[in-house]
Amino acid sequence: MRKKRTNPSDVIGKQYGNLTIMGIVGKGNNYTTIVQAKCRCGKEWSGRFSCLTSGTTTSCGCLAHPTGTTSKCWKGGRTIDKKGYVKVFNKGHPRASHDGRYVLEHVLVMESYLGRYLNDDETVHHKNGMKGDNRIENLELWASNHSSGQRVKDLIAWAQEILKAYVISVPMEK
């Protein structure tokens, strides 16, 4: 079944990423529709409508080379990653992401509470399993990696494996 095409004239005023369509400019090569849009940072952009609908273009270009707090698209330095964790802009932090700019908020909260950076073998666990709940009351410092997920069945199996490793007799589930 063929996907229904979106009519550009029906989407004037709609937002795609940081761009809001203002109008249709005309046709480009291969009869592609060219639209005029306004970016959240205030700049105008024109280009192929299909770039917006496919998600290949999400801004006027201001997000391609962000400069942190001086960027026109700066929103306070907080973002949520694909796994649901809150990340905070903190350039140069030892636990910053691969680009050296963002740190997981729960790590920063625990470090603030402890008054020091976390050691390499330490992790922070969310007691209630909610990755966005970064209150210190909901965080625990763990001395090594911990199991993923919060399903009781998975946690019990993980705990039994740990207990076996330390030669403690554990009654197995029936």
Q: Which residue has the higher pLDDT, 81 or 8?
A: 81
Is residue 173 assigned to a domain? no
- List the domain range (segments joined by +) for residue 138: 75-143
pTM exceeds cut of 0.75: no
Q: What is the mean pLDDT of residues 74-85?
A: 78
- The pLDDT of residue 125 is 92
Q: What is the mean pLDDT of residues 86-114?
A: 88
Residues 80 and 38 in one domain: no
Is residue 151 assigned to a domain? no
Count how many domains the chain has.
2
DSSP per residue over 12-54, as a string? TT-EETTEEEEEEEEE-GGG-EEEEEEETTS-EEEEEHHHHHH
Task: Name the band, by pLDDT with cuts 50, 70 and 90, for residue 155.
Answer: confident
40/63 Cα distance (integer angstroms): 11
Residues 89 and 49 in one domain: no
Residues 101 and 131 in one domain: yes
Residues 94 and 131 in one domain: yes
46/28 Cα distance (integer angstroms): 11
Residues 94 and 47 in one domain: no
- The pLDDT of residue 104 is 93
Is residue 84 assigned to a domain? yes
pLDDT in tens, 15-70: 888 889 998 888 877 778 888 988 888 888 888 888 888 877 888 877 665 555 55
Residue 81: closest CA among 101, 54, 52: 101
pLDDT in tens, 103-127: 999 999 999 998 989 888 788 999 9
Is residue 131 assigned to a domain? yes
Alpha-carbon dihedral sign for residues 84, 37, 20, 49: negative
Is residue 60 assigned to a domain? no
- The pLDDT of residue 96 is 86
- The pLDDT of residue 142 is 84
Average pLDDT, the chain: 79
Residues 91 and 129 in one domain: yes
Is residue 3 assigned to a domain? no
Residues 139 and 85 in one domain: yes
Query: What percentage of residues in the chain have a pLDDT greater than 90?
Result: 14
